[in-house]
Amino acid sequence: MSENEQQPPQEEQVKTEDPNATINIKVVSSTGEEVFFKIKRSTKLSKLQGAYANKVGKDVNSIRFLYDGARIADDDTPTSLEMEDNDTIDVMVEQVGGSA
């Protein structure tokens, strides 16, 4: 029975970040529109990007997603970006061209 006594209590195991735990993320457009998502910490953010694009009726390739000023890659997850609950992702419409 001494082996069982040496195992950490269940409570301590719950405190470590569970990749299946959910996180709330707010996606904010340049016009200030907010869309809220609840996803698992292990979910690729490309899935959230597709869901956002469908919700606002835009092509996912015509918009860019930024977290802390850096562009989000397709294989990034909330865990890989060290996101916290209720963090914000900024959405920008891709600008093409320009003139001098």
Q: What would the pLDDT profile of 41-86 be if each residue is shown by its tens digit?
A: 999 999 999 999 999 999 999 999 999 999 999 999 999 999 999 9
β-bridge pairing 22-29 and 70-71? unpaired
Mean pLDDT across the chain, nearest whole number? 85
Q: Do residues 63 and 94 lie in contact, with contact meaning Cβ atoms separated by under 8 Å?
A: yes
pLDDT bin (cut points 50, 70, 90) of residue 12 is very low
pLDDT for the residue numbered 93: 86
Its sign, for the CA torsion 49, 50, 51, 55, is: positive
Looking at the domain assignment, is residue 12 inside a domain? no
CA dihedral 59, 61, 65, 69 (to 10 degrees): -140
Q: What is the CATH number of the domain that holds 28?
A: 3.10.20.90
pLDDT, residue 5, reads 53
Residue 16 lies in a domain: no
The total number of structural domains in the chain stands at: 1
98 falls within a domain:
no
